[in-house]
Structure 1
Protein backbone atom coordinates (compact mmCIF):
# COMPACT_ATOMS: atom_id res chain seq x y z
CA UNK A 1 0.00 0.00 0.00
CA UNK A 2 1.44 3.33 -1.10
CA UNK A 3 1.29 6.12 1.53
CA UNK A 4 1.86 9.73 0.42
CA UNK A 5 1.89 12.97 2.42
CA UNK A 6 0.55 16.02 0.59
CA UNK A 7 3.53 18.35 0.09
CA UNK A 8 1.22 21.37 0.10
CA UNK A 9 -0.27 20.62 3.53
CA UNK A 10 1.10 21.76 6.87
CA UNK A 11 1.68 25.10 8.51
CA UNK A 12 0.92 28.34 6.75
CA UNK A 13 3.47 31.12 7.10
CA UNK A 14 1.69 32.81 10.01
CA UNK A 15 1.49 29.71 12.19
CA UNK A 16 5.06 28.64 11.37
CA UNK A 17 6.29 32.14 12.30
CA UNK A 18 4.44 32.12 15.64
CA UNK A 19 5.77 28.71 16.63
CA UNK A 20 9.32 29.69 15.66
CA UNK A 21 9.04 32.82 17.82
CA UNK A 22 7.83 30.72 20.75
CA UNK A 23 10.68 28.23 20.35
CA UNK A 24 13.24 31.04 20.08
CA UNK A 25 12.01 32.63 23.32
CA UNK A 26 11.89 29.28 25.16
CA UNK A 27 15.50 28.61 24.18
CA UNK A 28 16.44 31.41 26.59
CA UNK A 29 13.79 31.16 29.30
CA UNK A 30 11.95 28.37 31.08
CA UNK A 31 8.41 29.77 30.79
CA UNK A 32 6.56 31.83 28.22
CA UNK A 33 2.87 32.75 28.40
CA UNK A 34 0.68 32.57 25.29
CA UNK A 35 -2.74 34.18 25.07
CA UNK A 36 -4.91 31.31 23.81
CA UNK A 37 -3.78 28.16 22.00
CA UNK A 38 -0.81 29.07 19.82
CA UNK A 39 -2.29 26.81 17.17
CA UNK A 40 -5.54 24.84 17.01
CA UNK A 41 -3.77 21.52 17.27
CA UNK A 42 -3.70 19.70 20.59
CA UNK A 43 -0.62 17.65 19.77
CA UNK A 44 1.49 20.70 18.97
CA UNK A 45 0.22 22.56 22.03
CA UNK A 46 1.28 19.61 24.19
CA UNK A 47 4.73 19.53 22.56
CA UNK A 48 5.28 23.22 23.24
CA UNK A 49 3.92 22.88 26.77
CA UNK A 50 6.74 20.44 27.46
CA UNK A 51 9.17 23.17 26.39
CA UNK A 52 7.61 25.69 28.79
CA UNK A 53 4.81 27.39 26.85
CA UNK A 54 1.87 28.13 29.14
CA UNK A 55 -1.54 28.89 27.62
CA UNK A 56 -3.59 31.57 29.39
CA UNK A 57 -7.01 33.09 28.77
CA UNK A 58 -8.01 36.76 28.81
CA UNK A 59 -9.00 36.68 32.47
CA UNK A 60 -5.60 35.32 33.44
CA UNK A 61 -3.89 37.93 31.28
CA UNK A 62 -5.34 40.64 33.51
CA UNK A 63 -3.56 39.15 36.54
CA UNK A 64 -0.09 39.08 34.98
CA UNK A 65 2.50 41.82 35.48
CA UNK A 66 6.11 42.39 34.41
CA UNK A 67 6.49 39.33 32.17
CA UNK A 68 6.46 38.25 28.52
CA UNK A 69 3.29 37.18 26.67
CA UNK A 70 3.14 35.78 23.14
CA UNK A 71 0.42 37.05 20.81
CA UNK A 72 -0.41 34.21 18.40
CA UNK A 73 -0.95 34.45 14.66
CA UNK A 74 -4.71 35.11 14.98
CA UNK A 75 -4.11 38.68 16.15
CA UNK A 76 -5.67 40.60 19.05
CA UNK A 77 -8.08 43.50 19.56
CA UNK A 78 -6.79 46.93 20.69
CA UNK A 79 -7.76 46.37 24.34
CA UNK A 80 -5.16 43.60 24.66
CA UNK A 81 -2.38 46.04 23.80
CA UNK A 82 -3.81 48.61 26.20
CA UNK A 83 -3.84 46.06 29.02
CA UNK A 84 -0.24 45.13 28.24
CA UNK A 85 0.78 48.77 28.72
CA UNK A 86 -1.09 49.02 32.00
CA UNK A 87 0.42 45.78 33.39
CA UNK A 88 3.94 46.33 32.04
CA UNK A 89 3.75 43.22 29.88
CA UNK A 90 6.26 42.67 27.09
CA UNK A 91 4.33 41.37 24.11
CA UNK A 92 6.01 38.97 21.71
CA UNK A 93 3.75 39.79 18.78
CA UNK A 94 3.46 36.91 16.33
CA UNK A 95 0.30 38.21 14.67
CA UNK A 96 0.15 37.04 11.06
CA UNK A 97 0.92 39.90 8.62
CA UNK A 98 -2.14 38.94 6.57
CA UNK A 99 -4.36 39.28 9.66
CA UNK A 100 -2.75 42.59 10.67
CA UNK A 101 -3.38 44.00 7.20
CA UNK A 102 -7.01 42.88 7.39
CA UNK A 103 -7.41 44.46 10.83
CA UNK A 104 -6.21 47.74 9.35
CA UNK A 105 -8.67 47.45 6.44
CA UNK A 106 -11.55 46.74 8.82
CA UNK A 107 -10.60 49.72 11.02
CA UNK A 108 -10.49 52.12 8.05
CA UNK A 109 -13.74 50.71 6.63
CA UNK A 110 -15.46 51.08 9.98
CA UNK A 111 -14.38 54.71 10.31
CA UNK A 112 -15.62 55.44 6.78
CA UNK A 113 -18.90 53.55 6.95
CA UNK A 114 -19.80 55.05 10.33
CA UNK A 115 -20.03 58.44 8.67
CA UNK A 116 -22.48 56.93 6.16
CA UNK A 117 -24.64 55.13 8.75
CA UNK A 118 -23.30 51.86 7.38
CA UNK A 119 -22.58 48.43 8.87
CA UNK A 120 -19.49 46.22 9.00
CA UNK A 121 -20.26 42.52 8.53
CA UNK A 122 -17.72 39.79 9.26
CA UNK A 123 -18.19 36.36 7.70
CA UNK A 124 -16.59 34.19 10.33
CA UNK A 125 -16.96 32.02 13.39
CA UNK A 126 -18.26 33.87 16.47
CA UNK A 127 -15.78 33.64 19.31
CA UNK A 128 -12.88 32.69 17.04
CA UNK A 129 -9.70 34.50 18.06
CA UNK A 130 -9.20 36.14 14.67
CA UNK A 131 -12.82 37.32 14.54
CA UNK A 132 -12.48 38.75 18.05
CA UNK A 133 -9.45 40.74 16.90
CA UNK A 134 -11.22 41.98 13.79
CA UNK A 135 -14.35 42.94 15.69
CA UNK A 136 -12.17 44.88 18.11
CA UNK A 137 -11.26 47.24 15.27
CA UNK A 138 -14.91 48.30 15.17
CA UNK A 139 -15.33 48.74 18.93
CA UNK A 140 -17.07 45.33 18.86
CA UNK A 141 -19.87 46.73 16.72
CA UNK A 142 -19.44 44.47 13.67
CA UNK A 143 -22.18 42.02 12.73
CA UNK A 144 -20.82 38.47 12.66
CA UNK A 145 -22.47 35.98 10.31
CA UNK A 146 -21.87 32.28 9.74
CA UNK A 147 -25.01 31.16 7.91
CA UNK A 148 -28.15 32.46 6.22
CA UNK A 149 -30.08 32.68 9.50
CA UNK A 150 -27.54 35.22 10.82
CA UNK A 151 -28.39 37.66 8.03
CA UNK A 152 -31.50 38.76 9.94
CA UNK A 153 -29.18 40.95 12.06
CA UNK A 154 -28.44 43.20 9.06
CA UNK A 155 -30.46 46.23 7.91
CA UNK A 156 -30.23 45.82 4.14
CA UNK A 157 -31.62 49.29 3.46
CA UNK A 158 -28.35 50.74 4.83
CA UNK A 159 -24.80 50.48 3.40
CA UNK A 160 -23.00 47.21 4.14
CA UNK A 161 -19.29 46.41 4.02
CA UNK A 162 -18.45 42.70 4.13
CA UNK A 163 -15.14 41.07 5.10
CA UNK A 164 -14.22 37.44 5.70
CA UNK A 165 -12.22 35.69 8.38
CA UNK A 166 -9.00 34.75 6.56
CA UNK A 167 -9.43 30.99 7.04
CA UNK A 168 -13.00 30.60 5.83
CA UNK A 169 -14.04 28.69 2.72
CA UNK A 170 -13.94 30.69 -0.51
CA UNK A 171 -17.11 29.00 -1.72
CA UNK A 172 -18.80 29.82 1.58
CA UNK A 173 -17.84 33.50 1.31
CA UNK A 174 -19.22 33.89 -2.22
CA UNK A 175 -22.39 32.05 -1.27
CA UNK A 176 -22.85 34.52 1.61
CA UNK A 177 -22.16 37.43 -0.75
CA UNK A 178 -24.85 36.18 -3.15
CA UNK A 179 -27.39 35.79 -0.33
CA UNK A 180 -26.69 39.32 0.86
CA UNK A 181 -27.12 40.75 -2.63
CA UNK A 182 -30.50 39.01 -2.88
CA UNK A 183 -31.55 40.43 0.51
CA UNK A 184 -30.48 43.94 -0.53
CA UNK A 185 -32.57 43.78 -3.70
CA UNK A 186 -35.55 42.35 -1.83
CA UNK A 187 -35.33 45.19 0.71
CA UNK A 188 -35.18 47.83 -2.01
CA UNK A 189 -31.62 48.75 -1.12
CA UNK A 190 -28.79 49.66 -3.49
CA UNK A 191 -26.15 47.16 -4.57
CA UNK A 192 -23.84 50.15 -5.06
CA UNK A 193 -23.87 50.54 -1.26
CA UNK A 194 -22.66 46.95 -0.81
CA UNK A 195 -18.89 46.52 -0.63
CA UNK A 196 -17.89 42.83 -0.47
CA UNK A 197 -14.22 42.13 0.26
CA UNK A 198 -12.80 38.65 -0.31
CA UNK A 199 -10.24 38.78 2.51
CA UNK A 200 -9.56 35.03 2.64
CA UNK A 201 -5.85 34.24 2.87
CA UNK A 202 -4.60 32.95 -0.47
CA UNK A 203 -2.43 30.38 1.31
CA UNK A 204 -5.76 28.95 2.47
CA UNK A 205 -7.87 29.40 -0.65
CA UNK A 206 -5.15 28.07 -2.97
CA UNK A 207 -5.08 24.83 -1.00
CA UNK A 208 -8.65 23.96 -1.91
CA UNK A 209 -8.05 23.12 -5.61
CA UNK A 210 -4.76 21.41 -4.71
CA UNK A 211 -6.53 19.26 -2.11
CA UNK A 212 -9.24 18.29 -4.57
CA UNK A 213 -6.60 17.03 -6.99
CA UNK A 214 -4.80 15.20 -4.19
CA UNK A 215 -8.03 13.57 -2.97
CA UNK A 216 -8.81 12.22 -6.45
CA UNK A 217 -5.37 10.63 -6.76
CA UNK A 218 -5.79 8.29 -3.76
CA UNK A 219 -8.19 5.54 -2.70
CA UNK A 220 -8.24 6.72 0.91
CA UNK A 221 -7.63 10.16 2.39
CA UNK A 222 -6.59 10.68 6.00
CA UNK A 223 -7.05 14.31 7.00
CA UNK A 224 -5.05 15.26 10.09
CA UNK A 225 -6.17 18.29 12.09
CA UNK A 226 -7.07 19.57 15.52
CA UNK A 227 -10.82 19.48 16.08
CA UNK A 228 -10.89 23.15 17.11
CA UNK A 229 -9.35 24.27 13.82
CA UNK A 230 -11.78 26.33 11.71
CA UNK A 231 -9.48 25.92 8.73
CA UNK A 232 -9.33 22.17 9.34
CA UNK A 233 -13.11 21.84 9.22
CA UNK A 234 -13.30 23.86 6.01
CA UNK A 235 -10.54 21.95 4.22
CA UNK A 236 -11.80 18.54 5.33
CA UNK A 237 -15.18 19.41 3.85
CA UNK A 238 -13.44 20.05 0.51
CA UNK A 239 -11.61 16.72 0.70
CA UNK A 240 -14.66 14.72 1.80
CA UNK A 241 -16.83 16.12 -1.01
CA UNK A 242 -14.20 14.99 -3.51
CA UNK A 243 -13.40 11.60 -1.99
CA UNK A 244 -16.08 9.99 0.25
CA UNK A 245 -13.47 7.61 1.67
CA UNK A 246 -11.93 10.45 3.67
CA UNK A 247 -11.39 10.30 7.41
CA UNK A 248 -10.69 13.07 9.93
CA UNK A 249 -8.21 12.22 12.70
CA UNK A 250 -6.40 14.23 15.33
CA UNK A 251 -3.50 11.79 15.63
CA UNK A 252 -2.33 8.30 14.68
CA UNK A 253 -4.13 6.70 17.62
CA UNK A 254 -7.50 7.43 16.00
CA UNK A 255 -6.75 5.37 12.88
CA UNK A 256 -8.93 2.32 12.19
CA UNK A 257 -7.29 -0.49 10.22
CA UNK A 258 -10.62 -1.42 8.60
CA UNK A 259 -10.61 1.89 6.71
CA UNK A 260 -7.79 0.61 4.49
CA UNK A 261 -9.42 -2.59 3.25
CA UNK A 262 -8.93 -2.91 -0.49
CA UNK A 263 -6.92 0.30 -0.72
CA UNK A 264 -3.81 0.56 -2.89
CA UNK A 265 -2.97 4.18 -2.10
CA UNK A 266 -3.49 6.42 0.93
CA UNK A 267 -3.07 10.18 0.88
CA UNK A 268 -2.36 12.13 4.06
CA UNK A 269 -3.09 15.84 4.24
CA UNK A 270 -3.97 18.44 6.84
CA UNK A 271 -4.89 21.96 7.84
CA UNK A 272 -2.73 25.08 7.94
CA UNK A 273 -2.45 24.35 11.67
CA UNK A 274 -1.25 20.75 11.25
CA UNK A 275 2.48 20.14 11.86
CA UNK A 276 4.37 18.04 9.32
CA UNK A 277 5.80 15.86 12.10
CA UNK A 278 2.28 14.79 13.05
CA UNK A 279 1.34 13.85 9.47
CA UNK A 280 4.58 11.85 9.26
CA UNK A 281 3.66 10.03 12.47
CA UNK A 282 0.27 9.14 10.96
CA UNK A 283 1.99 7.96 7.76
CA UNK A 284 4.35 5.74 9.73
CA UNK A 285 1.45 4.16 11.60
CA UNK A 286 -0.44 3.42 8.36
CA UNK A 287 2.68 1.93 6.79
CA UNK A 288 2.87 -0.45 9.75
CA UNK A 289 -0.64 -1.82 9.14
CA UNK A 290 -0.29 -5.58 8.43
CA UNK A 291 -0.89 -6.53 4.81
CA UNK A 292 -3.58 -8.97 5.95
CA UNK A 293 -5.59 -6.04 7.28
CA UNK A 294 -5.70 -4.31 3.90
Structure 2
Protein backbone atom coordinates (compact mmCIF):
# COMPACT_ATOMS: atom_id res chain seq x y z
CA UNK A 1 0.00 0.00 0.00
CA UNK A 2 1.34 3.42 -1.00
CA UNK A 3 0.61 6.51 1.10
CA UNK A 4 0.87 9.95 -0.53
CA UNK A 5 0.43 13.47 0.88
CA UNK A 6 -1.22 16.06 -1.35
CA UNK A 7 1.43 18.69 -2.10
CA UNK A 8 -1.27 21.37 -2.51
CA UNK A 9 -2.72 20.86 0.98
CA UNK A 10 -1.62 22.64 4.12
CA UNK A 11 -1.53 26.23 5.27
CA UNK A 12 -2.62 29.07 3.06
CA UNK A 13 -0.46 32.20 3.08
CA UNK A 14 -2.60 34.00 5.68
CA UNK A 15 -2.47 31.22 8.26
CA UNK A 16 1.26 30.59 7.72
CA UNK A 17 1.93 34.32 8.15
CA UNK A 18 -0.07 34.51 11.42
CA UNK A 19 1.66 31.48 12.94
CA UNK A 20 5.10 32.79 11.96
CA UNK A 21 4.30 36.15 13.59
CA UNK A 22 3.19 34.39 16.77
CA UNK A 23 6.34 32.26 16.93
CA UNK A 24 8.56 35.29 16.29
CA UNK A 25 6.90 37.17 19.17
CA UNK A 26 7.37 34.21 21.53
CA UNK A 27 11.01 33.59 20.58
CA UNK A 28 12.24 34.95 23.90
CA UNK A 29 9.80 32.89 25.92
CA UNK A 30 7.31 35.73 26.37
CA UNK A 31 3.63 34.96 26.86
CA UNK A 32 1.42 36.16 24.01
CA UNK A 33 -2.37 36.41 24.01
CA UNK A 34 -4.38 35.52 20.90
CA UNK A 35 -7.97 36.59 20.34
CA UNK A 36 -9.63 33.29 19.43
CA UNK A 37 -7.94 30.14 18.10
CA UNK A 38 -5.05 31.23 15.91
CA UNK A 39 -6.06 28.47 13.51
CA UNK A 40 -9.02 26.09 13.51
CA UNK A 41 -6.86 23.10 14.33
CA UNK A 42 -6.64 21.93 17.94
CA UNK A 43 -3.34 20.08 17.43
CA UNK A 44 -1.60 23.25 16.24
CA UNK A 45 -3.24 25.31 18.98
CA UNK A 46 -1.86 22.85 21.57
CA UNK A 47 1.64 23.02 20.03
CA UNK A 48 1.66 26.83 20.19
CA UNK A 49 0.23 26.82 23.72
CA UNK A 50 3.32 24.93 24.84
CA UNK A 51 5.37 27.81 23.41
CA UNK A 52 3.39 30.44 25.34
CA UNK A 53 0.39 31.36 23.18
CA UNK A 54 -2.70 31.92 25.32
CA UNK A 55 -6.12 31.89 23.65
CA UNK A 56 -8.64 34.42 24.96
CA UNK A 57 -12.18 35.41 24.01
CA UNK A 58 -13.67 38.89 23.61
CA UNK A 59 -14.86 39.08 27.22
CA UNK A 60 -11.36 38.32 28.48
CA UNK A 61 -9.92 40.92 26.12
CA UNK A 62 -11.91 43.64 27.90
CA UNK A 63 -10.11 42.80 31.16
CA UNK A 64 -6.58 42.89 29.74
CA UNK A 65 -4.24 45.87 30.14
CA UNK A 66 -0.65 46.66 29.10
CA UNK A 67 0.06 43.46 27.17
CA UNK A 68 0.42 42.06 23.64
CA UNK A 69 -2.49 40.49 21.76
CA UNK A 70 -2.26 38.78 18.39
CA UNK A 71 -4.97 39.43 15.80
CA UNK A 72 -5.22 36.23 13.77
CA UNK A 73 -5.60 35.91 10.00
CA UNK A 74 -9.42 36.13 10.15
CA UNK A 75 -9.28 39.85 10.95
CA UNK A 76 -11.24 41.86 13.53
CA UNK A 77 -13.99 44.51 13.60
CA UNK A 78 -13.15 48.18 14.33
CA UNK A 79 -14.29 47.82 17.97
CA UNK A 80 -11.33 45.55 18.75
CA UNK A 81 -8.82 48.21 17.68
CA UNK A 82 -10.69 50.86 19.67
CA UNK A 83 -10.62 48.72 22.82
CA UNK A 84 -6.90 48.03 22.38
CA UNK A 85 -6.18 51.77 22.37
CA UNK A 86 -8.26 52.32 25.49
CA UNK A 87 -6.56 49.47 27.40
CA UNK A 88 -3.01 50.16 26.22
CA UNK A 89 -2.85 46.80 24.43
CA UNK A 90 -0.21 46.34 21.75
CA UNK A 91 -1.82 44.52 18.82
CA UNK A 92 0.30 42.14 16.77
CA UNK A 93 -1.85 42.31 13.63
CA UNK A 94 -1.62 39.15 11.54
CA UNK A 95 -4.82 39.80 9.60
CA UNK A 96 -4.63 38.18 6.17
CA UNK A 97 -4.11 40.82 3.44
CA UNK A 98 -6.95 39.24 1.43
CA UNK A 99 -9.32 39.64 4.40
CA UNK A 100 -8.18 43.23 5.05
CA UNK A 101 -8.84 44.15 1.42
CA UNK A 102 -12.30 42.59 1.67
CA UNK A 103 -13.05 44.50 4.88
CA UNK A 104 -12.25 47.74 3.04
CA UNK A 105 -14.50 46.77 0.14
CA UNK A 106 -17.38 45.94 2.48
CA UNK A 107 -17.00 49.23 4.34
CA UNK A 108 -16.87 51.23 1.11
CA UNK A 109 -19.97 49.45 -0.26
CA UNK A 110 -21.84 50.05 3.00
CA UNK A 111 -20.96 53.74 3.16
CA UNK A 112 -21.62 54.43 -0.52
CA UNK A 113 -24.85 52.42 -0.55
CA UNK A 114 -26.57 54.37 2.23
CA UNK A 115 -28.08 56.93 -0.17
CA UNK A 116 -29.77 54.15 -2.17
CA UNK A 117 -30.93 52.33 1.00
CA UNK A 118 -28.84 49.33 -0.10
CA UNK A 119 -28.31 46.18 1.97
CA UNK A 120 -24.96 44.47 2.49
CA UNK A 121 -25.39 40.68 2.39
CA UNK A 122 -22.55 38.39 3.49
CA UNK A 123 -22.54 34.76 2.40
CA UNK A 124 -20.82 33.11 5.35
CA UNK A 125 -21.11 31.37 8.69
CA UNK A 126 -22.77 33.24 11.56
CA UNK A 127 -20.29 33.61 14.41
CA UNK A 128 -17.25 32.84 12.25
CA UNK A 129 -14.34 35.12 13.15
CA UNK A 130 -13.91 36.48 9.63
CA UNK A 131 -17.63 37.21 9.30
CA UNK A 132 -17.63 39.06 12.64
CA UNK A 133 -14.84 41.28 11.29
CA UNK A 134 -16.64 41.86 7.99
CA UNK A 135 -19.99 42.63 9.60
CA UNK A 136 -18.19 45.04 11.93
CA UNK A 137 -17.39 47.23 8.91
CA UNK A 138 -21.14 47.87 8.59
CA UNK A 139 -21.83 48.50 12.27
CA UNK A 140 -23.23 44.94 12.33
CA UNK A 141 -26.01 45.93 9.92
CA UNK A 142 -24.92 43.38 7.31
CA UNK A 143 -27.28 40.47 6.66
CA UNK A 144 -25.52 37.11 7.00
CA UNK A 145 -26.83 34.23 4.91
CA UNK A 146 -25.65 30.63 5.00
CA UNK A 147 -28.60 28.67 3.63
CA UNK A 148 -31.55 29.30 1.29
CA UNK A 149 -33.79 29.76 4.34
CA UNK A 150 -31.66 32.74 5.42
CA UNK A 151 -32.70 34.65 2.29
CA UNK A 152 -35.95 35.54 4.09
CA UNK A 153 -33.88 38.13 6.02
CA UNK A 154 -33.42 40.17 2.82
CA UNK A 155 -35.81 42.90 1.66
CA UNK A 156 -35.95 42.21 -2.08
CA UNK A 157 -37.51 45.58 -2.85
CA UNK A 158 -34.19 47.25 -1.89
CA UNK A 159 -30.79 47.06 -3.61
CA UNK A 160 -28.44 44.26 -2.50
CA UNK A 161 -24.64 44.17 -2.49
CA UNK A 162 -23.38 40.62 -1.96
CA UNK A 163 -19.97 39.52 -0.68
CA UNK A 164 -18.65 36.15 0.49
CA UNK A 165 -16.57 34.98 3.40
CA UNK A 166 -13.20 34.23 1.75
CA UNK A 167 -13.19 30.53 2.69
CA UNK A 168 -16.69 29.57 1.52
CA UNK A 169 -17.41 27.21 -1.37
CA UNK A 170 -17.44 28.82 -4.82
CA UNK A 171 -20.31 26.57 -5.86
CA UNK A 172 -22.30 27.58 -2.78
CA UNK A 173 -21.69 31.28 -3.43
CA UNK A 174 -22.92 31.15 -7.02
CA UNK A 175 -25.97 29.15 -5.96
CA UNK A 176 -26.92 31.83 -3.41
CA UNK A 177 -26.12 34.56 -5.95
CA UNK A 178 -28.52 33.01 -8.46
CA UNK A 179 -31.33 32.76 -5.92
CA UNK A 180 -30.95 36.39 -4.83
CA UNK A 181 -30.82 37.53 -8.45
CA UNK A 182 -34.04 35.70 -9.30
CA UNK A 183 -35.94 36.97 -6.24
CA UNK A 184 -34.84 40.53 -6.93
CA UNK A 185 -36.05 40.20 -10.52
CA UNK A 186 -39.44 38.87 -9.39
CA UNK A 187 -39.89 41.61 -6.79
CA UNK A 188 -38.88 44.44 -9.11
CA UNK A 189 -40.21 43.54 -12.55
CA UNK A 190 -41.03 47.17 -13.40
CA UNK A 191 -37.73 48.61 -12.19
CA UNK A 192 -35.05 49.77 -14.61
CA UNK A 193 -32.56 50.52 -11.82
CA UNK A 194 -29.70 48.08 -11.10
CA UNK A 195 -30.55 46.43 -7.78
CA UNK A 196 -27.83 43.80 -7.44
CA UNK A 197 -24.05 43.97 -7.11
CA UNK A 198 -22.52 40.53 -6.54
CA UNK A 199 -18.86 40.25 -5.54
CA UNK A 200 -17.10 36.88 -5.64
CA UNK A 201 -14.70 37.57 -2.76
CA UNK A 202 -13.64 33.96 -2.19
CA UNK A 203 -9.88 33.60 -1.82
CA UNK A 204 -8.49 31.95 -4.94
CA UNK A 205 -5.82 30.18 -2.90
CA UNK A 206 -8.77 28.43 -1.24
CA UNK A 207 -11.11 27.99 -4.21
CA UNK A 208 -8.34 26.61 -6.44
CA UNK A 209 -7.96 23.73 -4.02
CA UNK A 210 -11.38 22.38 -4.93
CA UNK A 211 -10.46 21.20 -8.46
CA UNK A 212 -7.03 20.10 -7.20
CA UNK A 213 -8.62 17.99 -4.46
CA UNK A 214 -11.17 16.57 -6.88
CA UNK A 215 -8.33 15.23 -9.03
CA UNK A 216 -6.32 14.00 -6.04
CA UNK A 217 -9.36 12.14 -4.64
CA UNK A 218 -9.83 10.13 -7.82
CA UNK A 219 -6.18 9.07 -7.89
CA UNK A 220 -6.36 7.00 -4.67
CA UNK A 221 -8.43 4.13 -3.31
CA UNK A 222 -8.84 5.80 0.08
CA UNK A 223 -8.66 9.46 1.08
CA UNK A 224 -7.89 10.61 4.63
CA UNK A 225 -8.76 14.27 5.09
CA UNK A 226 -7.04 15.85 8.09
CA UNK A 227 -8.64 18.94 9.62
CA UNK A 228 -9.84 20.56 12.80
CA UNK A 229 -13.55 20.03 13.37
CA UNK A 230 -14.09 23.81 13.73
CA UNK A 231 -12.68 24.58 10.29
CA UNK A 232 -15.28 25.94 7.86
CA UNK A 233 -12.80 25.51 5.04
CA UNK A 234 -12.12 21.94 6.18
CA UNK A 235 -15.79 20.98 5.97
CA UNK A 236 -16.09 22.48 2.49
CA UNK A 237 -12.97 20.76 1.13
CA UNK A 238 -13.81 17.41 2.73
CA UNK A 239 -17.18 17.47 0.95
CA UNK A 240 -15.25 17.78 -2.35
CA UNK A 241 -13.23 14.66 -1.47
CA UNK A 242 -16.33 12.71 -0.45
CA UNK A 243 -18.13 13.69 -3.64
CA UNK A 244 -15.34 12.31 -5.83
CA UNK A 245 -14.30 9.37 -3.65
CA UNK A 246 -16.86 7.74 -1.32
CA UNK A 247 -13.96 6.11 0.56
CA UNK A 248 -13.00 9.46 2.11
CA UNK A 249 -12.62 9.84 5.87
CA UNK A 250 -12.36 12.97 8.04
CA UNK A 251 -9.93 12.82 10.98
CA UNK A 252 -8.53 15.41 13.36
CA UNK A 253 -5.40 13.35 14.10
CA UNK A 254 -3.91 9.88 13.80
CA UNK A 255 -5.82 8.61 16.87
CA UNK A 256 -9.03 8.60 14.83
CA UNK A 257 -7.71 6.28 12.11
CA UNK A 258 -9.34 2.85 11.68
CA UNK A 259 -7.33 0.01 10.13
CA UNK A 260 -10.44 -1.39 8.43
CA UNK A 261 -10.48 1.61 6.08
CA UNK A 262 -7.27 0.41 4.42
CA UNK A 263 -7.95 -3.34 4.20
CA UNK A 264 -8.44 -3.39 0.41
CA UNK A 265 -6.50 -0.25 -0.47
CA UNK A 266 -3.45 -0.15 -2.71
CA UNK A 267 -3.07 3.64 -2.46
CA UNK A 268 -4.04 6.14 0.25
CA UNK A 269 -4.09 9.91 -0.22
CA UNK A 270 -3.60 12.30 2.70
CA UNK A 271 -4.88 15.85 2.33
CA UNK A 272 -6.18 18.68 4.51
CA UNK A 273 -7.60 22.16 4.95
CA UNK A 274 -5.87 25.53 4.66
CA UNK A 275 -5.66 25.36 8.46
CA UNK A 276 -4.00 21.92 8.57
CA UNK A 277 -0.23 21.92 9.29
CA UNK A 278 1.97 19.76 7.10
CA UNK A 279 3.58 18.19 10.18
CA UNK A 280 0.16 16.82 11.21
CA UNK A 281 -0.52 15.29 7.77
CA UNK A 282 2.96 13.71 7.92
CA UNK A 283 2.13 12.33 11.36
CA UNK A 284 -1.10 10.78 10.03
CA UNK A 285 0.74 9.38 7.01
CA UNK A 286 3.34 7.83 9.30
CA UNK A 287 0.65 6.09 11.35
CA UNK A 288 -0.96 4.66 8.22
CA UNK A 289 2.45 3.56 6.97
CA UNK A 290 2.90 1.63 10.22
CA UNK A 291 0.20 -0.72 8.97
CA UNK A 292 1.89 -3.80 7.54
CA UNK A 293 2.97 -3.38 3.92
CA UNK A 294 2.46 0.37 3.71
CA UNK A 295 5.03 2.82 2.35
CA UNK A 296 5.07 6.61 2.27
Q: Classify the TM-score, shorter chain.
A: over 0.9
| Residue of structure 1 equivalent to 2:219 | 217
Q: State the 1:30 CA deviation.
A: 2.5
Structure 2 equivalent of residue 82 of structure 1: 82
Distance (Å, rounded) in 2 between the aligned partners of 1:12 and 1:192: 36
Q: Report 1:69-108 matches (<5 A).
A: 69-108=69-108
Alignment partner of 1:66 is 2:66: yes
Cross-structure match for 1:202: 204
> Alpha-carbon deviation of 1:291?
4.1
Distance in 1, matches of 2:43 and 2:30, equals: 20
Gaps of 5+ in 1: none
Counterpart residue number, 1:52: 52
2:40 matched residue in structure 1: 40
Aligned with 2:254 (options 244, 249, 252): 252
Map Cα deviations across residues 39-78 of structure 1 (whole Å, 9 max, x no partner).
0000000000000000000000000000000000000000
State the TM-score, normalizing by the size of structure 2. Answer: 0.97
The Cα of 1:192 is off from its aligned counterpart by 2.3
Is 1:163 aligned with 2:160? Answer: no
Q: Which residue number corresponds to residue 266 of structure 1?
A: 268
Q: Could you list the runs of 4 or more consecutive aligned residues of structure 1 that deviate by over 2 angstroms after TM superposition?
A: 188-192
1:16 and 1:192 mapped to 2: Cα distance? 40
Q: Which runs of 5+ in 2 are unaligned?
A: none
Q: Measure the CA separation in 2 of the matches of 1:226 and 1:69.
A: 23
* Alignment-derived partner of residue 30 in structure 1: 30
TM-score by length of 1: 0.98
Q: How many residues align?
A: 292
Distance 2:169 2:26 in 1: 34
Q: Is residue 178 from structure 1 mapped to residue 167 from structure 2 by the alignment?
A: no
Equivalent residue, structure 2, for 1:145: 145
Distance 2:116 2:187 in 1: 18
Are 2:234 and 2:274, in contact at CA under 8 Å, matched by a contact in 1?
A: yes
SS at match of 2:283: helix
- Please give the alpha-carbon distance, in whole angstroms, between the structure 2 residues aligned to 1:124 and 1:238: 18
Q: CA deviation at 1:28?
A: 2.0
What is the CA–CA distance in structure 2 between the aligned matches of 1:179 and 1:28, rounded to whole Å?
Answer: 53
Q: Secondary structure at the match of 1:62?
A: helix
RMSD between superposed Cα atoms in Å: 1.1
The equivalent residue for 1:17 is: 17
| CA distance in structure 1 between the aligned counterparts of 2:74 and 2:47, rounded to whole angstroms | 20
